[in-house]
DNA sequence: CTTATTTGACCATG
DNA sequence: CATGGTCAAATAAG
């Protein structure tokens, strides 16, 4: 820091701008159009900021964002050592490689669209708040290696420093590359709450067909409970030109769970539980599915949203097909 | 019942 | 040996 390089200034302004946009969004949340636009703005700004950060981090090891590569390789690991649970953890790091798998960022909203399972928490020296450790829910049934560490910041308890380690290799419909057709048919129209308190959305069947898939009701601590119903995907796309595996059909999670069942149905929203305690102490929140903002316009339009990864693992680039609207996620970075 | 979280103990590393 | 990361038994939640 110290030297206010042009980069720093630009970054500062960008961040400020995004912050203001976020505030504006809150004020304009009653206008779907405005909200949508703001979403786009925010998304664009976030991307710009991330890109700049990544670029800067490559040149000089900045203190905020760092990208390394974890050579997890074919780390089978996970051998249950009965008594001496010794895990040799080889961490080879390579630098300058793209497709970084370690990213840290400061965010206010812990939701990131992935389902995490907390496996530990530690008090950290010089930090007021503990650090929470998460692994992908599908670590064992799908060998997903993604991990996340969350720590509330000392200076700004409203934000968390989140470190993402490893990329998701799971096929969680909520997180993996998958296309779904959803339909914004707010049951009452009122169901389509904007992100008043929570940022969940309600989807309903695209085909009017009442065979609505499972409706997992996510109850946020508050009175907001909405239903998520996702139709079977009509089409599956691969993300980012890379050859992506098959469809989400050959999933064989060992344990028969609601999630597995839902997946079999191609239902993405299965375990969408968004726990937002009145005051999450620190990262101890397990996130579920969320398409964040969704300003569905018409009542009969069907939208197709596609999730794909960024090289930075900045999850969800939601693209909407066949609809004027676009779903964008709001990312309250930094 | 199954699955998730909590939490102290254990382990690796510098 | 201090620190941070993970395990796993107990417990909570659904």
Mention every residue, 6+ apart, whose C-beta is less than 8 A from residue A231.
A180, A181, A182, A183, A205, A206, A207, A213, A266
A116-122 sheet: strands from edge to edge? A102-107, A160-165, A147-152, A131-136, A116-122
Angle of helix A6-27 relative to helix A32-59, nearest 10 degrees?
Answer: 160
CA A175 to mean position of chain CA atoms = 7
Residues with CB under 7 A from strand B: A 83-90, 116-122, 137, 255-259, 271, 275, 284-286
Domain A102-171 annotated CATH 3.20.20.70: no
Instruction: Report the nucleotide nearest the CA of residue A124, measured to C1'.
Output: C4
Q: Is the pLDDT of residue A75 over 50?
A: no
Distance in Å, residue A101 CA to nucleotide B11 C1'? 25
Determine whether the distance from the CB of A125 to the nearest atom of strand C is below 7 Å: yes
Round to whole Å and give the CA distance between A155 and A6. Answer: 25
Reading the block at residue A256, the tokens are 């028969």
Output the pLDDT for position A17: 78
Partners of residue A102 on adjacent β-strands: A68, A165
Distance in Å, residue A96 CA to nucleotide B2 C1'? 44
Instruction: Report the nucleotide nearest the CA of residue A284, measured to C1'.
Output: B5
Distance in Å, residue A98 CA to nucleotide B2 C1'? 40
Spell out the domain ranges in chain A.
6-56, 102-171
Distance in Å, residue A111 CA to nucleotide C13 C1'? 21
Distance in Å, residue A133 CA to nucleotide C6 C1'? 9
Output the pLDDT for position A110: 85
**Largest alpha-carbon pair distance within chain A?**
62
Which of the residue ranges A18-32, A40-54, A55-69, A284-298 would you say has the lowest mean pLDDT?
A284-298
Mention every residue, 6+ apart, whose C-beta is less than 8 A from residue A190.
none
* Whether the Cβ atoms of residue A287 and residue A114 lie closer than 8 Å to each other: yes
pTM: 0.40
- Per-residue pLDDT tens over the stretch A216-252: 333 333 332 322 223 222 222 222 222 222 222 222 2
Output the pLDDT for position A147: 93
Q: What is the DSSP letter of A232?
A: P
Distance in Å, residue A221 CA to nucleotide B6 C1'? 20
Nucleotide C6's nearest residue (CA vs C1') is A120
Residue of higher predicted confidence among A150 and A330: A150
Output the pLDDT for position A102: 84
Work out the average pLDDT over A113-137: 93
CA distances from A192 to A30, A37, A183, A203, A262 (A): 11, 18, 11, 8, 23
Reading the block at residue A330, the tokens are 């709001």
pLDDT confidence tier of residue A169, bands split at 50, 70 and 90 = confident
Output the pLDDT for position A163: 92
């Amino acid at each position: 820091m110290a030297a206010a390089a042009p980069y720093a200034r630009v970054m500062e302004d960008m961040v400020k701008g995004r912050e203001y946009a976020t505030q504006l969004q809150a004020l304009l949340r009653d206008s779907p159009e405005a909200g949508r636009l703001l979403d786009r703005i925010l998304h664009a700004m976030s991307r710009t900021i991330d890109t700049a950060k990544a670029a800067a981090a490559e040149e000089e090891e900045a203190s905020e964002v760092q990208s390394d590569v974890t050579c997890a390789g074919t780390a089978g690991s996970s051998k249950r050592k009965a008594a001496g649970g010794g895990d040799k953890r080889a961490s080879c790091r390579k630098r300058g490689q793209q497709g970084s798998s370690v990213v840290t960022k400061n965010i206010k909203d812990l939701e990131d669209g992935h389902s995490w399972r907390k496996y530990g928490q530690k008090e950290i020296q010089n930090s007021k708040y503990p650090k929470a450790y998460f692994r992908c829910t599908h670590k064992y049934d799908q060998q997903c290696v993604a991990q996340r560490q969350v720590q509330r910041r000392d200076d700004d308890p409203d934000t968390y420093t989140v470190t993402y380690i490893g990329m998701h290799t799971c096929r969680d419909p909520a997180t993996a590359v998958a296309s779904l057709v959803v339909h914004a048919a707010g049951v009452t129209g009122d169901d389509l709450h904007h992100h008043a308190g929570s940022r969940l959305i309600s989807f309903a069947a695209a085909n009017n067909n009442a065979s609505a898939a499972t409706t997992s009701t996510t109850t946020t601590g508050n009175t907001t409970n909405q239903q998520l119903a996702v139709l079977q995907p009509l089409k599956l796309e691969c993300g980012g030109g890379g050859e992506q595996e098959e469809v989400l059909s050959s999933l064989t999670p060992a344990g028969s769970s609601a999630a597995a069942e839902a997946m079999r149905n191609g239902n993405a929203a299965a375990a969408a539980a968004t726990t937002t305690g009145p005051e999450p102490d620190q990262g101890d929140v397990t996130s579920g599915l969320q398409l964040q903002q969704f300003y569905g316009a018409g009542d009969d339009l069907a939208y197709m949203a596609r999730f794909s990864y960024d090289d930075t693992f900045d999850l969800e680039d939601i693209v909407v097909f066949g609809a004027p609207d676009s779903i964008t996620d709001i990312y309250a970075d930094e």
